[in-house]
Amino acid sequence: MKDKNFAGNSESAIDFLGKKWNYECMGCAISNGDIKIPGGIIYEGKHTLLGADPIIPIPGFLIVNVKRHVNSFSQLDKEERYEIVNVISYAEKALKELHITEEVTLVQEERSKHLHVWIFPNYKWMTEKFGKGIKYLRDISEYAKKNVNENNIKEILNTIEKIRKYFEEQAFGDTYQKL
């Protein structure tokens, strides 16, 4: 993919804790542990990783990253498909059952060179300030980055812990086989 300006294809980024990362492919760097995302990995399966979006500081904004370097659901094999859908389902269940949000938006763009799915939570302030719907996600993300403060960071890290606990207790146990 040649869309260099697109965040999914950038070669460096500053995470929401202020740490700068360089990489050839962000998805691969997260998969092989070269990037330590803020709050750490929430769940690691055989083929996928679940964590908080490293760049945009919104509590409960999650990313499911496929470990293999592919950029489309059409390139996944059966086992990978099975796992990614399960991880998304349980992540959504966690967000709802833990009362983090009542509604999410899923985004996956094939122009990003490495397949990842955004699980974007909806909050009242987003609807009030920007409106509802996929076209506002960029503005909401920019706003969250510009207005981040210590309390937001604490809330994000707490939310990550809660979701991690949910995955340990409710969804997956200790191994991916329990999917």
Name beta bridge partners: 64.
50, 117
Contacts of 56 (CB under 8 A, 6+ apart): 16, 141, 144, 145
Packing angle between helix 78-97 and helix 150-166, nearest 10 degrees? 120
Please, which residue, 69 or 145, has the CB nearer to Zn ion?
69
The residue from 36, 68, 69, 81 that contacts Zn ion (CB under 5 A) is 69
Q: Which stretch binds Zn ion (CB under 5 A): 50-58, 64-72, 127-135, 144-152?
A: 64-72
Of 109-128, binders to Zn ion (CB under 5 A) are 114
Residue 100 neighbours by CB distance under 10 Å = 20
Separation CA 122–CA 133 (nearest Å):
9
Q: Is 54 in the site for Zn ion (CB under 5 A)?
A: no
Q: Is 68 in the site for Zn ion (CB under 5 A)?
A: no
Smallest distance from Zn ion to CB 40, Å: 20
Please, which residue, 32 or 89, has the CB nearer to Zn ion?
32
Please, which residue, 28 or 107, has the CB nearer to Zn ion?
28
Separation CA 127–CA 41 (nearest Å):
29
Of 1-30, binders to Zn ion (CB under 5 A) are 25, 27-28
Smallest distance from Zn ion to CB 68, Å: 8
- For 94, 99, 109, 151, the CA distances from 128, given in Å and listed in that order, are 24, 19, 26, 21
Smallest distance from Zn ion to CB 162, Å: 29
Q: Given the rule CB under 5 A, which residues bind Zn ion? A: 25, 27-28, 69, 114
